[in-house]
Structures are given as C-alpha cells and as structure tokens.
Chains A and B, each alone.
Chain A
Amino acid sequence: MENVPKIVQVRLQRRTREAVEAHPDADLLTAFAEQSLGESERAQVMEHVARCGECREVVALALPASESVLAPSSVRANRGAWLSWPVLRWGVVAAGIVLVASVGILQYKQRRQQNAALFSSPVRQQEKVSAALPSSRPSAQMQARAIIPQAREKTRQAPARRDFSSQSAVAADSSQSPNAIFPSPQPMNRAGVPGAGIGSGSGGGIAGGVFRPNSGSGAMLAGREHSAPAENGALALAPESKEALSASSQSPAAQASAAAPTHQVTVSGASQVIEVQAESAQITTQDQAGVQRAQNQTIVPPQTQPLNNLDVVRAKDSVPLQTESSVVFAPTVSTPQTSLQKALRSLPRWGISSSGGLQRSYDAGTTWEDVNVSAAESRDEYQAKKILKKERAKPVVVFRAVAAFGPEVWAGGSGAMLYHSLDSGNHWARIVPSEANASLTGDVVGVEFSDAQHGRIGTSAGEVWTTGDDGQTWHKQ
C-alpha cells in the first residue's frame, strides 16, 4: 500500500487534535457503523469521526464480529462491488464487444442469405417444380428414359401424339389468346400422360427440352425421322388444338403449370411448339430438367411474333422449323417469388432470335441484346479458327440451342458450332466435341446441362454427346 507523506499524517493529527467539538453519542456512532443514518447526520458524524481518533477507535472496536455481521454487510459489499465503477466499466466494454459482434454476425448472415438466394435459386426452383408436379412424375420419368430413339417408335405407335405436337404448334399460334399463357406445359403434359412418345414434334421436344435445343431443331429431328408427320398433324388438328389445350388443362401436369401462376409465357408462333416440347421434355427429365424447366419459362423475343404464321406455314409445308424457331432459356421468370427474381436478375436470360442469333436479356425478357459470339472467341484454338473461317464464309452462325447454368452458357447451332462462355456471354470459346477420331457433326440442335459439369448435346445427325467435366472431354453415344 502506498505511503502518504509524513506531513500528511502530521497534519491529519493536527486536525484530529483540534477536534474538540462534541462527540456523537453511542447511539449515533452505532447507527453510523450500521449505515442507518440519514445523509446529513451521517455527514456530520463522518466529519467528526474523520477528525476524532477516539471515536474512530470506538467505531472500529465496536465493529461486530465478522461472522455475525458478514451476512448483511457482505451483501451490501457485493452490491457495491458490482455497481462500482471499476466493475461497471469492464461490463460496459464487454457489452460493447458483444453488441458489435452480434451486429457483425447479423450482417454476415444477411449477406450470406442474399448470396445463397443468388446461387441456389435454381435448386429451389427445382424443388418447387418437383413439388408442384408430383403427379406427373411417373410419366415424366418414363419419358425421361424414353429419349429420342424411343420417341420415334412411340410417335409411330401413337399417332395421337402428333396431335399434341401439332396442338402445341397451334397453341403457339394462339399465343395471343389468353389460353396461350400456359401453352407449353399443357401439351407436354398431355403428351406425357399417355406415356407414349411426344410425336414428331415431341421428339424434337425431347431433344430440345432435354438438350435445350431449338424447337425447330427438334422439329427438324422429328421431321427427318418421321417425315414430319407432326406438321401435318398440326395442320389437320389445328382447329382442335384449343380444345385439346383446355382438355389438357385438367391433367395433373396442367395443374402443376397452374401451380405456378406467375408464369407469363408470351410465346409466339413456331417457337411455341418448341417451347412446349421443351417443357414436356423437361418434365420428363424431371429433376435435372425440372430445375431448368422452372426457369425456362419461355419468353420468345418479340421479333419472332410476326413470324408465327410463317412458322406455321412452314410447318404446314413440312419445312423444318429450326431456323425460325427460337428456344428461349429464361432462367428467372418462372418462380412467383419476386425475391428470387431479384436475386436472379443479375444473371441474363438466354434466347435465340428467329434468325438464329444468340440473345440475352437482363430484364426478364423485356429487352434483348444480341450477343456476338465470334467477337470474343478464343484465339488459341487453331481448329476453331479454321472452322471459324469457314463459318465466316457463311453469313452467320445460326444458333438453335442455348443452355445456361449460372454464369456458364452453352450455345450450339448450325455447322457443329458449339460455344461456351463462363461469364454470362461476355467471352466465348468455341468447343469442338471430339472423341477418338470422331467429332461433332451436323447442327447442334440441343444443349442441356444438368449442372455445371454434366451436359449433353444433341445434333441434327442424331448424335448425342455427353460430357462430365464441363466440356473438357466428350463422349459420343
């Protein structure tokens, strides 16, 4: 304990000696020691005791035995200790730290949630879709396994399906009518419900849906294989298509589509056919495709609308729809949740214009911008350049299919063109799938990526290429 200077003690004693005033009586001293005096009285006694050594000694001697009085006095002491400033200031510091930490954690959580919403939204949508379409699953699975080869047979065996495909075409035509809002799921469902293939159109649809090709390509496929009976059917059944639509709306899948009421599908023309097929195909491929299906509420670029009739006409003429058709990959639209839409807004939607140009939209399909693939093409690929030269001899690459998974975009088109972008289409690299001596031939009519690593490509030559490593290696099936 620190010593005070001697002079302090001397002067303290001097003061003590001067204290000649009246001593407080025993009662007051007792009350003082027991802390039961009022403020003014306590101050008086305190002043006296501070001066008077005798009274100090009396008070000190009269202190109760520590055991007997410790109980009350210790309570008081504890309270004092807890409320005293030294303890309090550490408490304040601790409280401040806790406050800052909790605020930080909250902020961090919020950001993480936002990020999660951004990147996990496809999965959520998938869940939603699968939840919304429980009844359509079995048939969908069946169809998922059916894929293209089976689809052929099925289409042959079930001519009715052509009706559906044709109906889808009709639905495309009727896109301006209110019923056209849900055109795609309904026909598909109907196609799915019978369990048969999806007709010529549906065959293309599978290709298109699964691989996300242009409906046109699908139609072309189907057309090749089945000599385009779908188009004929479509023609023939065009008048019934509406009824078919309405009828199909009662099918479970239709309900599923109804379950997502916000799907504003402004589909038009031939693209509708493709869309529809794509939808159905996606339903059939269920989980994987389902994810994208939910996102792929096809919104056809406005330009295509005037072409609708043309498409139909061409369909009538059994001309492959590919060129005019446009499959639109719209990642964001489908979910009713606006938050998700917001979260996904940073990712563009992808579409193909009626002229086969690649397009993307950052505003949910309201406006579309053309994406020039060749501008940012990779230069180090010699072969790619060679092909490019050839390609450039032609006017443009006609795209038929586009698929996107997050910022990754795959786009395929005529002349075995397959382009890959890792940054939402800002930079592109041409990919030439090859295995052994074989390489991709024909037009790419379908591109599908179930996740960033696994994808399939369908071609007009009937080839199916798969990759399990984000396009590094390919296998022909």
Chain B
Amino acid sequence: MRTKLILQASNELVASGNWAAPTRLSFMRATKPIPAAVQSAVAHLLAELHAKGGCEKIGLSGESFAAILCEVAAKYLPDGASEGEARTLLLTLRIEELALARSCAAGNNSAWELFLTRYREKLYQSALRIAREDSAARDLADSLYAELYGTNTRAGERVSKLASFTGRGSLEGWLRTVLAQEFVNRYRRTKRLVSLEEENEDGEQFAAAEPEPLAPADRRLESATDAALASLASEDRLVLAAYYLDGRTLAEVARMLGVHESTISRKVDKLAKTLRKKILAGMMQQGMTRRQAEEALEVDVRDLQVNIRRSLAQESSAAAFSEKKDGSAFGQEIVPSENLETGK
C-alpha cells in the first residue's frame, strides 16, 4: 500500500519533472521502424551475442533477444547509420546484463531471482549513499524495487522499468542513475516547496539583488561573459558548472569525467584564468578600458561573495549538502523556474 502511494507520487513527479518527459520520448522512439542496417547487423551478431548473454539460462529466446537488440540499436543509432556502426554499438553493449534485465522485465522467475541475488543488496546500498539517510534511502530503494518488478499494470500487463534498460552502461550503474533521478525529483519537489515559501518572504529582496549586476553598464560584461563561455568546450563548461555552481568537490568532478583529480584541479585553475582574460578582452573590445573592465569584474566578485554569505545564512538546510558552498547554494536557489518568473 505504502509503495503504491510512493509510486503514485513518483509518477506524478515524473509527469511534471523536466527530465521525465524526454525519457518517455526516447522510450517511444524505440517503437519506430527498425532500419535495415540494424537488422542485418543484429542478424549477423545474434548467435554470438545470444550465447554471450547466457540467454538460454534465463529463458530468453533468440527471436525476442533479436527484437531487443534491434530496439536498442535503433534507439541509439542516428538515422542512416551504417551496418558497421550498428555492429560496433551492439558489440559494446552489456549483453549479459541486458539479457538479464529484459528477461526479468518479461517475467522470467529465474532471471528475477538472479537479478535479486546480484543487485538487491547493491540497490539498497546505492540508495543509502544517494539519500544519505536511512529512512529516505529505504523509501527510495523500495519505490524503485517496485518499479523494477513492475507492479503497475497497463492493459493487464506488468510493465517493469527494467524493460527500459538498454545495456549501454552497466546494470548496476543504471540502477544508481535511476535511483538518483528519482531522488533528484523528490528532492527538487520538497526543495521547491521550501524555496517558494522563502521566496514569498523575501522574494522581492532577492529578486532585486539580481538585476543590479545587469545594469546597462554591465551589458557588455554580460555579452563578453557569454561569448567567453560559449567559446569553451562543453567539458570545460561542465567542469565549471559542476565545480562552481553545483559545488561538487574536485574528486567528484573528476570521477564524473573519469579523469584524475589533479587534472581537474589544474583545469579549473586554468579555466578560471582564461575566462577572466577572455572576458576582459571581450569587454575591452566593446570599448571599455582595461581598468573599467577589471573594475566591472571585481565588483561582481564582491557581489557574489556577499550573495554567497547571504544565501548561506538563509539556507541552513542546504548546508547539509556540501561543505564547500561557493555558489552552490546560490545556484540551487535560482535554478527553479519559479525564480525566473518572479525575477522577471
């Protein structure tokens, strides 16, 4: 009963959340007709992959497995992809885990048992790490567990979330990701409520604080900054956002990108310097003297620090997130779209 409630709640979340809709979309995209290249690639590799995935043991027939492979390949391959690309994709899939997940989704009991022995423990551990709190973690894990089993029926069929697993990453990682998505949605909902209240209290003040740097004199600063940011590689922007906005630690950013922490550390340093240089150059191009440009930047930095202090003082709850707060609380404060609306 309780799980059902949770599920319903989460479904609502999914329906209203930003990321859920695209997930649906991509899921639906899977039903589009299978390109010939993909079909032939699957036909070529089916026997090999079928054996590799150990599909026999978990009761997955060759045909159904072929259908799964076709669906996965068609989902991720761009239109007009060659057969070679399809093969490469198929060969990089986590075949065994894919077979297991899909077999579970199809209701195979032995597959389900195997899944449980392998992943149940990990599921709860991951939930605990994500939620950082026992009861919330249990909630999170339970809801996902129910979803995985497929308690909700549609047209009399049990639909498991495992059916959406495509084997691009590991099943364990996928479980963690799904858990994290779930958690972010919940967290955002509760957070949104809190921040709405807070905004109601001092929303005007907060909104008034923002336009200040957007004064006409700073238009040039703005555009220069935008240009500088746009000139960065997406990975660099990811690093900047994760570090300065999200308040991730260097180690976390490094693990997100699969590189060493020291690499990220150097990169952040370098990025900060080059950004400053680029912005200054951009502003000077637009007719500001160097001193003016530097002043504009300095003023902003001071503002930022004030804002950080204020947001830190206001958001005692956010302190649970991360010790290093420069910008993170600030960022999370503004991200919600309500803020946008009230701001403008």
Contacts and interface: CB of A to CB of B under 8 A. Distances in A.
A416 to B, nearest CB: 86
A1 interface: yes
A6 B213 contact: yes
A20 B335 CA distance: 13
B279 A5 contact: yes
Nearest to A14: B226
Given A3-B272, A76-B258, A62 B252 contact: no
**From DSSP, what is the main secondary structure of chain B's interface residues?**
helix
B23 A26 contact: yes
B1 interface: no
B79 interface: no
Contacts of B271: 4
A13 B229 contact: no
A57 B229 CA distance: 21
B259 A26 contact: no
B209 to A, nearest CB: 11
Interface in B18-66: 18-19, 21-23, 25-27
B26 A30 contact: no
A7 B214 CA distance: 9
Interface centre among A24, A43, A46, A50 (most CB of B within 10 A): A50
Contacts of B256: 33, 56, 59-60, 63
A7 B330 contact: no
**From DSSP, what is the main secondary structure of chain A's interface residues?**
helix
Interface string B136-170: 00000000000000000000000000001111111
Nearest to A17: B340
B177 A8 contact: no
Nearest to B165: A27
A10 B260 contact: no
A27 B18 contact: no
Contacts of A33: 169, 173, 177, 256, 258
Contacts of B89: 38
Contacts of B265: 1
A25 B23 contact: yes
B183 interface: yes
A340 B243 CA distance: 73
Interface string A333-350: 000000000000000000
Given A2-B269, A5-B304, A11 B229 contact: yes
Contact of A50 (B21, B26, B238, B266): B238
Nearest to B327: A9
A41 interface: yes
Given A5-B279, A8-B244, A77 B168 contact: no
A135 interface: no
A12 B340 CA distance: 14
A16 B178 contact: no
A104 interface: no
A64 interface: yes
B203 interface: no
Interface string B217-238: 0100110011011000011011
Interface string A193-223: 0000000000000000000000000000000
Nearest to A48: B234
A7 B297 contact: yes
A27 B259 contact: no
Contact of B240 (A4, A20, A55): A4
A46 B234 contact: yes
B281 interface: no
Given A4-B244, A26-B23, A37-B168, A11 B184 contact: no
A10 B211 CA distance: 11
B120 interface: no
A219 to B, nearest CB: 90
Nearest to A58: B180
A454 interface: no
A43 B75 CA distance: 17
B258 A73 contact: yes
A159 B327 CA distance: 118
A6 B300 contact: yes
Interface stretch (A78-86, A91-99, A239-247): A78-86
Interface centre among B241, B250, B334 (most CB of A within 10 A): B241
Interface string B9-24: 0000000001101110
Contacts of A144: none
B109 interface: no
A54 B337 contact: no
Interface centre among A7, A38, A60, A78 (most CB of B within 10 A): A7
Contacts of B307: 6
Contacts of B87: none
A51 B331 CA distance: 13
B279 A8 contact: yes
Interface residues of A, number: 67
B342 interface: no
A53 B240 contact: no
Contact of A10 (B130, B168, B213, B251): B213
B118 interface: no
Contact of B241 (A16, A26, A36, A73): A16
Given A3-B326, A6-B300, A11-B222, A30 B244 contact: no
A432 B153 CA distance: 129
Nearest to B161: A26
Interface in B180-222: 180-181, 183-184, 188, 213, 218, 221-222
A208 to B, nearest CB: 82
A23 B18 contact: yes
A211 B107 CA distance: 115
B92 interface: yes
A435 interface: no
Contact of A5 (B173, B242, B276): B276
Contacts of B19: 23, 52, 54-55, 58
Given A11-B229, A62-B180, A30 B260 contact: no
A46 B169 contact: no
B29 to A, nearest CB: 10
Nearest to B130: A61
A15 B244 CA distance: 14
A30 B258 CA distance: 12
B179 interface: yes
B115 interface: no
B25 A62 contact: no
A28 interface: yes
B126 to A, nearest CB: 8
B290 interface: no
Q: Which 7 A-B pairs have the closest CB atoms?
A: A30-B169, A6-B304, A22-B22, A23-B19, A61-B180, A77-B260, A50-B238
16 contacts: A1-B243, A3-B326, A5-B275, A5-B297, A6-B213, A9-B330, A15-B237, A16-B241, A17-B337, A27-B164, A33-B173, A58-B177, A58-B181, A61-B179, A64-B172, A66-B251
Interface of B: 18-19, 21-23, 25-27, 76, 88-89, 92, 125-126, 129-130, 164-170, 172-174, 176-181, 183-184, 188, 213, 218, 221-222, 225-226, 228-229, 234-235, 237-238, 240-246, 248, 250-252, 254-256, 258-263, 265-266, 268-269, 271-273, 275-276, 279, 297, 300-301, 303-304, 307, 326-327, 330-332, 334-335, 337, 340
Given A27-B165, A30-B170, 5 more contacts: A4-B244, A7-B225, A8-B244, A50-B241, A54-B18
